[in-house]
Amino acid sequence: MNQPDGTGTPAHRPTSSLAPALPALTVIASLLGLLVLWSLAATLWPSRAFPPPQAVWQVLVQDGASGELPYHLGVTLARVAASFVVAMVLGSVIGVLLGSYRRADRFFNPWVILFLNIPALVIIVLAYIWFGLNEAAAIGAVAVNKIPNVVVTMREGARAFDPRYAEMATIYRFSPLDRLRHVILPQLQPYIAAASRSGIALIWKIVLVVELLGRSNGVGFQIYLYFQLFDVAAILAYTLAFVAVMLVIELLLVQPLERHATRWRRRPA
Amino acid sequence: MQPVGAGVPLRVDIAEKTFKSAEGVSVTALKELSFEVRQGEFACLLGPSGCGKSTTLRILLGLDRDFQGSFQMPVGGGNRTAVVFQEPTLLPWRTVEQNVRLALPKDMRGVDLDRLFKTLGLSDMRTLFPSELSLGLARRAALARAFATEPAVLFLDEPFVSLDEQTAERLRHLLLSVWSARPTTALMVTHNLREAMMLSDRIIVLSPRPAHVIGYFDVRLPRHYRNPQVMSDLLRSFHQKFPGAV
């Protein structure tokens, strides 16, 4: 952390202008390669169940123009966001409590293991039976699926707390809010990042199942509809559109936030 | 700004402090340890390594409540306590200036810290993160944080260990200059007799474990008279008074 010989100069950043663009170029080349492969395969084995990229693109443009695609994407995205927030907040609070109080952890650990091992489908079906086919049940079911994972990650984070910072905060009389903002959350940051990364990926997949089983809109509902019509091009169009949205969120929101939160770390020169 | 009740000393009266080891053996760290630090006085707790100096400090800081006895803190300065630990203990994810300001009470957050940073030679480091500082600079930042709060009492736990002697000496002078600007009741733990002699008004000499006070050594001479010649005289008379101590 502290180096006795350091003179206090910040680490230097790479100066070449091409270097930052290189990873992006690699990603684009890799995706183009996949597209070419798909296109080749679809021309070699033409089938209604395996449409070429153009057919999928047509559906994308058509449904995008009619407003149907953006509407269902928006609905699903809202459900993902709501479930994510609920799962992260509840999971973090429970995880930090269990990580801080060993007795509570011993008592509740079997519960955590139980919930970790209940299949997502069972929780969704039970939520719909108990609470009805409504939005709250849908979002709650997705959140309950994710909470145990968040609890396990955040519990590790709380166990790794450095007691010296807590002692310093006690002596200098930090307010509870300052303690949370400046002492607790920064220490949890790597664990929050890990939990959110795996969380978003898991949650949006479960949201599709929830929509398929008991909602009348959203990407999951549309995929179910096109499954009954045997329209593979539309299924792929909705899937790709949603994956693209999640990628954009990752690139424009998650990564910049993470860079901001870890700006104090000394970067390897 | 002399608040009501000024002049109250730091009064320590610890009857006993025992630790239980993992095997259930109890070790007595402190036994009948009592002393006083007068208002505005800089005192040093001097004793051999492992005699329980740091334990005493942890009790006074309120970090360890499992002991028999009592202590009384000086009043004033919002009854605040400040500390400089052996490790700088700065929040690595906040800049030097944020680290200092966070330790201040809400109504003091906006105060002008230019002079303090200047005295400690930290003016150019305010926006750096602790990982970008050397250990010596991080220790200075920890000193800045302690003095910025204008506490009623200041505790220092061997704040200059693991530094080379030149840097340590420089830091001692810096400590004296910020302390002289606002003399605060201070208690410093150290096992370095020369350091205690240079900094303090009074040295409280502790016995090996279980620690209790063997005696006091007052250094009445103003600090700027304590040149090498005077220091060696002082050391000699200290060794005459406490043969075998430290």
Per-residue pLDDT of A35-52, as tens digits, reads 999 999 999 988 888 899
In chain A, the percentage of residues whose pLDDT exceeds 90 is: 69
The per-residue pLDDT for A76 is 94
Residues B155 and B242 in one domain: yes
Q: Are A86 and A149 in contact (CB under 8 A)?
A: no
pLDDT of residue A14: 47
DSSP codes joined into one string, A158-181: HHT--HHHHHHHHHTT--HHHIII
pLDDT at A4: 44
Residue B123 in tokens: 């003016």
Complex confidence, ipTM: 0.84
B157 is a domain residue: yes
The answer to whether position B16 is within a domain reads yes
Q: For B89-94, what is the mean pLDDT? A: 92
Q: A261: pLDDT confidence band, cut at 50, 70 and 90?
A: confident
> Of the segments A58-67, B23-32, B219-228, which one has the largest average pLDDT value?
A58-67
Tokens of B102: 């966070």
pLDDT, tens digit, for every residue of B167-209? 888 899 889 888 988 888 999 999 888 889 889 999 999 888 8
Q: Tell me which chain B residues have a C-beta less than 8 angstroms from the C-beta of A2.
A: 88, 130-131, 133-135, 138
Residue B120 within a domain:
yes
Whether the per-residue pLDDT at B3 is higher than 50: the answer is: no
Q: Quick check: is B85 in a domain?
A: no
Q: Which domains does chain A have, with CATH numbers?
A: 78-231 (1.10.3720.10)
Q: Is residue B161 part of a domain?
A: yes
Whether B24 and B55 share a structural domain: yes
The verdict on B121 and B215 lying in the same domain is no
Number of domains in chain B: 2
pLDDT digits (tens, 9 = 90+) for A66-76: 999 999 999 99
Residue B229 lies in a domain: yes
Q: Domain check: are B189 and B96 in the same one? A: no
Tell me if B18 is assigned to some domain: yes
Query: Do residues B210 and B30 touch, judged by C-beta distance below 8 A?
Result: yes
Regarding whether B66 and B162 lie in a shared domain, the answer is yes
Alpha-carbon gap, residue B37 to B45, rounded angstroms: 10
Q: Residue B4 has what pLDDT? A: 41
Q: pLDDT at position A18, please?
A: 62
Residue B20 and residue B53 share a domain: yes
How many angstroms separate the CA atoms of B99 and B95, rounded? Answer: 6
Same domain, B4 and B74: yes
Instruction: Note whether B94 and B72 are same-domain residues.
Output: no
Alpha carbon separation from A15 to A18, A19, A20, A22, A269 (Å, rounded): 9, 8, 10, 14, 12
- B75 and B161 in a single domain? The answer is yes
Verify that B125 and B236 share a domain, yes or no: no
A interface test, pick of B59, B83, B85, B93 with most A CB neighbours within 10 Å: B93
Cα(A238)–Cα(A59) distance, integer angstroms: 9
With contacts defined as CB-CB under 8 Å, which chain B residues touch A173?
80, 105
Give the closest of B92, B125, B134 to A5, CB-based. B134
Q: Give yes or no for a contact between A105 and A155, defined as CB atoms under 8 angstroms apart.
A: yes
How confident is the model at residue B7, as a pLDDT?
Answer: 67
Containing structural domain, residue B117 = 90-149
Cβ–Cβ of A171/B106 closer than 8 Å?
A: no
Lowest mean pLDDT among A96-105, A109-118, B25-34: B25-34
CB-based contacts of B26, cutoff 8 Å, min separation 6: B18, B19, B20
Q: Are B163 and B213 in a shared domain?
A: yes
- Does residue B71 share a domain with residue B161? yes
Biggest CA–CA distance in chain A, Å, is 73
What is chain A's mean pLDDT, rounded?
88
B149, B179, B200 - which closes a domain? B149
Residue type present at position B158: E
Contacts of residue A265 in chain B, CB cutoff 8 Å? 131
CATH (domain of B188) = 3.40.50.300
For residue B219, is it within any domain? Answer: yes
